[in-house]
Amino acid sequence: MNTPPKPTKSLAGKSCRDCGVGKFELVQITHVENVAQDNPLTIPNVWVDRCNRCGEIVFPGDTVHYIETVVAEETEQLTGRDLEQIREDLGVDRQDEMSEILGLGTKTFHKWESGSQLPTRSMSYYIRLLAAFPDAFDWLRRREWRNANRLTGRNAQNDYAAMFPDLQISEDQNRLSPEQIDRVVSSSSRRNPALGLSRVAFLVK
């Protein structure tokens, strides 16, 4: 954990709006960030503006950024700044559009970027993956799984070969002779009967 930076902007010396009597002082405290109900994160020596009369505390911008960074490092969660950068890098202009692409609630990504909520660790991993592989993000954005079964397309031969490398599949998938089918069933079923039958179903479909 790095040394907390001293804020460049502070309310030190200004009157407290809460009590109207005291004045703010720039002091260091131990802050507890509730990143999860059962796993609070203790961050020592963070700088805050604290009223010398009522104890009201205000977090300067530099301190907020430092806390976000520490939380992100400790939990491997993405910060609001990280999420904004990823969204822009992926070519998404609006937060609600990003929410829609990821299958989230309309305002969820806005809450993450603003810092009012944090994405889970697993969701952070997922978003990092999409950021690292923009083609996968584009596939998700287009909802490619809604297209027709790709096994019926022009690349079917290559798909069969990739899925079933141990079978010699002819170019014409719909004209297997009875002898070929018998050979496929007998050779496949010796290893796994269910697998052999499912493969024949693909071949003669």
Expressed in percent and rounded to 5, the helix, strand and coil fractions of the chain are 50, 10, 40
3-state secondary structure of 26: strand
Fold of 80-144: 434 Repressor (Amino-terminal Domain) (1.10.260)
CA distance 11 to 98: 36
Confidence tier at 193 by pLDDT (50, 70, 90): very low
Residue 201, pLDDT score: 42
CB 4 within 8 A of CB 11: no
Q: Which helix (H) or strand (E) holds 28?
A: strand 24-33
Better pLDDT: 127 or 188: 127
CA distance 44 to 51: 19
Q: Is the model's pLDDT at 197 over the cut of 90?
A: no
State the DSSP code for 133. Answer: -
For residue 31, the cross-strand partners are 43
Mean pLDDT, range 31-37, rounded to an integer: 79
Residue 124: partners with Cβ closer than 8 Å, 6 or more residues away:
76, 77, 78
Q: Which of 33-37, 68-72, 133-137, 144-148 has the lowest mean pLDDT?
A: 33-37
Residue 75 identity (one-letter amino acid): T
Residue 160, pLDDT score: 54
Residue 43, pLDDT score: 94
Among residues of the chain, what percentage have pLDDT more than 70?
Answer: 70
Cα dihedral sign for 15, 18, 22, 24? negative
Tokens representing residue 151 in the block: 């096994």
Q: Is the model's pLDDT at 107 over the cut of 80?
A: yes
Tokens representing residue 30 in the block: 């131990």
- The reported pTM is 0.48
Residue 8, pLDDT score: 94
Map out the domains of the chain as residue ranges.
1-75, 80-144, 150-204
pLDDT tens for each residue of 47-95: 999 999 999 999 999 999 899 888 878 888 888 889 999 999 999 999 9
Better pLDDT: 110 or 155: 110
Cα dihedral sign for 41, 45, 46, 48? positive
The three-point CA angle 3-57-27 to 5° equals 40
Residue 164 burial (CB count, 10 A): 17
Q: Is the model's pLDDT at 97 over the cut of 60?
A: yes
Q: Is the model's pLDDT at 177 over the cut of 90?
A: no
Better pLDDT: 204 or 144: 144
Confidence tier at 148 by pLDDT (50, 70, 90): low
Q: Is the model's pLDDT at 196 over the cut of 90?
A: no
| CATH 3.10.20.860 for the 1-75 domain, yes or no | yes
